[in-house]
Chains A and B, each alone.
Chain A
Amino acid sequence: MMILQTLRRGPLHGYAIAQHIRATSDDLLQIEEGSLYPALQRMLRAGWLTAEWTVSPTNRRVRQYQVTSAGRQQLEREIASFEQMINAIMQVLRPGES
């Protein structure tokens, strides 16, 4: 979900995605950067992303990932279910408020 959300703003390559997630999550989520790659491959296979080789601003040959329309739908589904879950948890924690 985080990868898809990151890529929604525009195509990025793997390192940039990792940087972005690290920056936005304020280092709260301590995950191995490497685990990004199996996830990317799975999403490529599922057809949520497309990838193509381009040259990065730092003049390296990098693979840029882009969200497809199927990926966008998937993201919306995930956000929706995530919100549902959060709401449910909130209701349990603070009953009667919402």
Chain B
Amino acid sequence: MRSIFDLLNVFRRRRLYDDISEEIRTHLAERVELLTASGMDPKEAEERARREFGNVTLIEEKSRAAWGWTWLERIAQDVRYALRSLRRSPTFAVAAVASLALGIGANSAVFTVVNAVLLRPLPYRDADRLVTFWETSREMGFSGLSAVCDPDFVEWRRQKQLFSEVAAFRGKTSNFTGAGIPERLIGSEVSPSLFPLLGLSPILGRGFVEDDLRGGRGGVVVLSHAFWVRRFNSSSSVLGQAITLDEQAFTVIGVMPEEFDFPNRAAFWTPLVLSGDCSNSFDQMLARLGPGVTLDRARVEVPDFASRLDRERGRPGNRAIAPMPLRDVIASRMAPTLLLLSGAVGLVLIIACANVANLLLARTAARRQELGMRRALGATTLRLATQLLTESVCLGVLGGLVGVGLVYVLRKPLIALVPESTTPGSFSLPLGGPLLDWRVVGFTFCVAFAAGLFFGLAPALSTAGSHLVYGLKGSAARLGGKSRSYGLRGILVASEVALTMVLLLAAGLLLKSLIQLNNISHGFEPQRLLTQNLELPDTRYPDSAARIRFHDSVLDRVLALPGVSAAGTIGFGLPYGGSGIRGDFSVEGQAPLPGNIMVAKLVVSPGYFRAMQIPLVHGRSFEAIDDSHAPPVAVISESVERRFWPAGGAIGARIDVFGAPLCTVVGVAGNVKEMGLTAAPEMAVYLPYAQSPRPFLQSFMTIVVRTDGDPMRVSNSIRKAVQSVDSEMPVFDVASMEQLVAKSKSEPRLNTAVVTSFGVLAILLATVGIYGVVAYSVAQRSSEIGIRIALGAQYGEVLRMMVLQGLRVTVCGLAVGMLATLAAGKALASHLYQVKADDPAAIAAVVALLLASSLIASYAAARRAVRIDPVTALRAE
């Protein structure tokens, strides 16, 4: 209460102070009047009155101090003084503010991403009460969002004691046709409860109601804002209009708010029609914890109920299902990268601080006489230290201001760095609201303030604590060699070197991993290969015969195109394509694989191996004769052969891939990285498209085309060739194989790029720091050097002496850095590929680089020493 009152009084304090002054003047005047009235000489009376009163200024100050604002005034005064003195030395101010702005800006930038991913509330109602269901398979080590069958979802919805509401959704892709260019859309089938569960309603029209589920499959659709703007010009007349998705008419009933694309970049939503069939588990679930239900309680009860459900349905209880907050699912994907980046920017900030501390030390050394004078006039150590700290905090806050400005300009590209989800079924990061919110600004200023205190502390203490006489005498003490602040500067620079070493080594290791990744053999030739996807809707291509007809005529036309040297197709499972079908597999006459080992099941056209340049090790590839009437055949990967026929003899064996009929192995193909670069090559079984035992496997195909020149150049003619077979067939995800490979490396590449640029920044700062230490020492010891030279020392000797001083600092830094690096290496291990954290080549390279740069910096600074003219140097005394 009192503090609020005081705060209000701050604005009235001028008047209060005037009151005190006036009162004291009146007091004195009255006293003088009384004394003169009793016959005293006016001058004497005045003197007497003042003597009796005491020190007027001091009493006035004490009276003011009673109100307790003096500390505030002192700070304001210090800030004004600090800004004034910064203006007086613009070079120093610009150098310090710029390096702080970089250091602080980098931290706010990373924090902006951390904020968007981890801290900002998700744009849903009571988002921290939303949970998903996370499944961990005990045998296969698989973990991910659980998918359940429709009757299970109905059971989960009944658990009212746990959840106030449960919604189901499943991913869906559809061909959007009948309105200009055909397009393939990502969408989602959702239960009517989903939108209310998230606390969102359409901005136009309505959401789903239970009635929408009757009258057959589909019927109504809700559009995303982005899709509505792009394809319907934001027209409100879209309501009630029919659109065609996969040959079916859907009536548009609503448009969702901007930025909403749950679960993952959805462009439309249709109602999820439940069946009583429990053989397919496609429904992912989102639930809101019931009132008073804690996450801990859900963690106990959800797995219980899940295993009870499994028992009732007679399923093997080999999985555990637990609730996981929606936020955690979204964040888990980003956490390792963010952790790495936060660590790197933290180091950069510390290095920047050390550098500014160095600048400050040099500056305060130059100001020693000024400070000594103020001390002589009665300033206390505390007062001087506060004043120096105020100056450094001012610098920090200025740096923070510039840093926030940088982040504001760069906020959009920053958030685009968040890697897009590549696994289907996970959630995209929901955006919405300003990226640069109060958290980011608050964080930046806390960092700026803390940085100001941090780098200001050493100079403040060293200067404020120094002796009055030493300060005033100034130059006389310089002959003594090392001063105390030189030691402090040495420690600062040594720690800069140590931190730089950590950063550079991290950069080096990441770089080496990336090079290893680039040298990986894919098992096929990714150059000059174009890939594009087609999806055949059931409604348009109801049976296998129709699909094979379409498939064959598209391939014929593509092969006839100029610039195309080979072409083939593959169903789900293009390497680096992000999809795939895996399952169990057995060989006639051999024991089946244990349940946790699966093979990739790939459906390909005869030309696929040639187009991809996957070598055939034994036997033959598929031929045109392997059609739907011919006996079923298969090609296996070398890894399968090694596992089941280590002594050879796979050709002619019969294998069970999708049940009866069994297929005969006709060939063995080289291993291919199916699952991305860092994954081990998988076992794979190839089946011919025409013999695909499941129609579903023929509904999706990737056309791979080997071209003579730049693959992107033929993409248009391929699209035309496809659409000359079916004018309403969208061609999507057109990309060269090299782009796909690069995309799978995008995260390591991003990490490497960011850490390397921080490393470069760090080595620049550290080099400047070393230069500063040596240059400062040269300046401090100029008279000593002058005497040495006057006494006959060789220039070379002097030079060596000064350079060695710089090197000594560097070597100390390297020794500490080596220890720090070994600790940091463990944290980095998960980001490395086939590189150990203590890779000797990388360490040697970093040490050599740092030594070289410190040698250059020391030499550049020390050269000034040999230019010292002994006469001038000595005369300066």
Query: A: which residues have CB within 8 A of B?
Result: 13-15, 18, 32-35, 37-38, 40-42, 44-45, 51, 53, 58, 60-63
**Residues of chain B contacted by A60 (CB below 8 angstroms):** 26, 29-30
B23-35 near A? 1/0 per residue, CB < 8 Å: 1101101110100
Given contacts A15-B30, A15-B31, A62-B26, contact A34 B19 (CB under 8 A): no
Asked whether, in the complex, the Cβ of A37 is within 8 Å of the Cβ of B30, the reply is no
Asked whether, in the complex, the Cβ of A40 is within 8 Å of the Cβ of B26, the reply is no
Given contacts A15-B27, A61-B26, A63-B23, contact A35 B67 (CB under 8 A): no
Q: How far is the CA of A41 from the CA of B55 in the complex (A)?
A: 17
Q: How far is the CA of A53 from the CA of B22 in the complex (A)?
A: 11
List 5 tightest A-B contacts by C-beta distance, closest first: A32-B54, A34-B54, A41-B66, A34-B59, A38-B62
Q: How far is the CA of A53 from the CA of B26 in the complex (A)?
A: 12
Q: How far is the CA of A34 from the CA of B25 in the complex (A)?
A: 11
Nearest residue (CB) in B for A60 is B26
**Residues of chain B contacted by A63 (CB below 8 angstroms):** 19, 22-23
B52 contacts partner chain A, Cβ-Cβ < 8 Å: yes
B18 to chain A, nearest CB (A): 11
Interface of A is mostly: helix
Asked whether, in the complex, the Cβ of A34 is within 8 Å of the Cβ of B55, the reply is yes
Asked whether, in the complex, the Cβ of B66 is within 8 Å of the Cβ of A33, the reply is no
Asked whether, in the complex, the Cβ of B59 is within 8 Å of the Cβ of A18, the reply is no
**Residues of chain B contacted by A61 (CB below 8 angstroms):** 22, 26
B521 contacts partner chain A, Cβ-Cβ < 8 Å: no
**Residues of chain A contacted by B26 (CB below 8 angstroms):** 13-15, 60-62
B540-582 near A? 1/0 per residue, CB < 8 Å: 0000000000000000000000000000000000000000000
B322 to chain A, nearest CB (A): 60
B569 to chain A, nearest CB (A): 87
B417 contacts partner chain A, Cβ-Cβ < 8 Å: no
Q: How far is the CA of A35 from the CA of B66 in the complex (A)?
A: 12
In B53-87, which residues have CB < 8 Å from any A CB? 53-56, 59-60, 62-68
Asked whether, in the complex, the Cβ of A41 is within 8 Å of the Cβ of B30, the reply is no
Q: How far is the CA of A26 from the CA of B30 in the complex (A)?
A: 20
Q: How far is the CA of A38 from the CA of B65 in the complex (A)?
A: 8
Q: How far is the CA of A14 from the CA of B53 in the complex (A)?
A: 12
B754 contacts partner chain A, Cβ-Cβ < 8 Å: no
B26 to chain A, nearest CB (A): 6
B331 contacts partner chain A, Cβ-Cβ < 8 Å: no
B684 to chain A, nearest CB (A): 84
Q: Which of A15, A18, A53: most chain B CB closer than 10 A?
A: A15
B20 contacts partner chain A, Cβ-Cβ < 8 Å: yes
Asked whether, in the complex, the Cβ of A34 is within 8 Å of the Cβ of B66, the reply is no
Asked whether, in the complex, the Cβ of B66 is within 8 Å of the Cβ of A45, the reply is yes
Interface of B is mostly: helix
Asked whether, in the complex, the Cβ of B31 is within 8 Å of the Cβ of A37, the reply is no
Q: How far is the CA of A32 from the CA of B62 in the complex (A)?
A: 13
Asked whether, in the complex, the Cβ of A37 is within 8 Å of the Cβ of B59, the reply is yes
Q: How far is the CA of A12 from the CA of B64 in the complex (A)?
A: 21
A60 to chain B, nearest CB (A): 6
Show 20 residue pairs from A and B whose CB-CB distance is below 8 angstroms, ordered by the A residue. Answer: A14-B26, A14-B27, A15-B26, A18-B27, A33-B53, A34-B24, A34-B59, A35-B62, A37-B24, A37-B60, A37-B62, A37-B63, A38-B65, A41-B20, A45-B66, A45-B67, A51-B19, A60-B26, A61-B22, A62-B23
Q: How far is the CA of A45 from the CA of B2 in the complex (A)?
A: 9
Asked whether, in the complex, the Cβ of A32 is within 8 Å of the Cβ of B52, the reply is yes
Asked whether, in the complex, the Cβ of A35 is within 8 Å of the Cβ of B59, the reply is yes
Q: How far is the CA of A35 from the CA of B62 in the complex (A)?
A: 9
A49 to chain B, nearest CB (A): 12
**Residues of chain A contacted by B56 (CB below 8 angstroms):** 34
A29 to chain B, nearest CB (A): 13
**Residues of chain A contacted by B64 (CB below 8 angstroms):** 41
Asked whether, in the complex, the Cβ of B23 is within 8 Å of the Cβ of A37, the reply is yes
Nearest residue (CB) in A for B49 is A33
**Residues of chain A contacted by B27 (CB below 8 angstroms):** 14-15, 18, 33
Asked whether, in the complex, the Cβ of A42 is within 8 Å of the Cβ of B24, the reply is no
**Residues of chain B contacted by A45 (CB below 8 angstroms):** 66-68
B55 to chain A, nearest CB (A): 7
Q: How far is the CA of A32 from the CA of B63 in the complex (A)?
A: 14
**Residues of chain A contacted by B60 (CB below 8 angstroms):** 37
Nearest residue (CB) in A for B31 is A15
**Residues of chain A contacted by B31 (CB below 8 angstroms):** 15, 33
Nearest residue (CB) in B for A17 is B27
Nearest residue (CB) in A for B59 is A34
Q: How far is the CA of A48 from the CA of B33 in the complex (A)?
A: 31
**Known A58-B30, A63-B22; 13 more pairs at CB < 8 Å:** A14-B23, A14-B24, A15-B26, A15-B30, A32-B52, A37-B59, A37-B60, A37-B62, A38-B62, A38-B63, A38-B65, A45-B68, A60-B30
**Residues of chain B contacted by A34 (CB below 8 angstroms):** 24, 53-56, 59
In B1-39, which residues have CB < 8 Å from any A CB? 19-20, 22-24, 26-27, 29-31, 33
Q: How far is the CA of A15 from the CA of B63 in the complex (A)?
A: 15
Q: Which of A18, A33, A51, A58: most chain B CB closer than 10 A?
A: A33
Q: How far is the CA of A32 from the CA of B53 in the complex (A)?
A: 5
Q: How far is the CA of A58 from the CA of B34 in the complex (A)?
A: 11
**Residues of chain B contacted by A62 (CB below 8 angstroms):** 23, 26
**Residues of chain B contacted by A58 (CB below 8 angstroms):** 30, 33
Q: How far is the CA of A58 from the CA of B31 in the complex (A)?
A: 12
Q: How far is the CA of A44 from the CA of B33 in the complex (A)?
A: 28
**Residues of chain A contacted by B66 (CB below 8 angstroms):** 38, 41-42, 44-45
A64 to chain B, nearest CB (A): 11
Asked whether, in the complex, the Cβ of B29 is within 8 Å of the Cβ of A41, the reply is no
Asked whether, in the complex, the Cβ of A41 is within 8 Å of the Cβ of B54, the reply is no
B238 to chain A, nearest CB (A): 68
**Residues of chain A contacted by B33 (CB below 8 angstroms):** 58
Given contacts A33-B52, A62-B26, contact A40 B67 (CB under 8 A): no
Residue of B22, B52, B53, B63 touching A41 (CB-CB under 8 A): B63
**Residues of chain A contacted by B52 (CB below 8 angstroms):** 32-33
Given contacts A15-B30, A33-B54, contact A38 B67 (CB under 8 A): no
Given contacts A15-B27, A15-B31, A62-B26, contact A40 B53 (CB under 8 A): no
**Residues of chain B contacted by A18 (CB below 8 angstroms):** 27
Q: How far is the CA of A61 from the CA of B21 in the complex (A)?
A: 13
B662 to chain A, nearest CB (A): 97
Q: Which of A35, A37, A44, A45: most chain B CB closer than 10 A?
A: A37
Q: How far is the CA of A50 from the CA of B757 in the complex (A)?
A: 65
Q: How far is the CA of A62 from the CA of B55 in the complex (A)?
A: 21
**Residues of chain A contacted by B53 (CB below 8 angstroms):** 32-34
Q: How far is the CA of A53 from the CA of B18 in the complex (A)?
A: 12
B356-372 near A? 1/0 per residue, CB < 8 Å: 00000000000000000
Nearest residue (CB) in B for A62 is B26
**Residues of chain A contacted by B20 (CB below 8 angstroms):** 37, 41
Q: How far is the CA of A39 from the CA of B59 in the complex (A)?
A: 10
Q: How far is the CA of A33 from the CA of B26 in the complex (A)?
A: 13
Q: How far is the CA of A44 from the CA of B64 in the complex (A)?
A: 12
Nearest residue (CB) in B for A53 is B19
B801 to chain A, nearest CB (A): 60
**Residues of chain B contacted by A40 (CB below 8 angstroms):** 63
Q: How far is the CA of A32 from the CA of B23 in the complex (A)?
A: 16
Asked whether, in the complex, the Cβ of A41 is within 8 Å of the Cβ of B67, the reply is yes
Q: How far is the CA of A27 from the CA of B56 in the complex (A)?
A: 21
Nearest residue (CB) in A for B58 is A34
Q: How far is the CA of A63 from the CA of B31 in the complex (A)?
A: 16
Nearest residue (CB) in A for B66 is A41
Q: How far is the CA of A50 from the CA of B55 in the complex (A)?
A: 25
**Residues of chain B contacted by A33 (CB below 8 angstroms):** 27, 31, 52-54
Q: How far is the CA of A38 from the CA of B66 in the complex (A)?
A: 6
Q: How far is the CA of A47 from the CA of B62 in the complex (A)?
A: 18
Nearest residue (CB) in B for A42 is B66
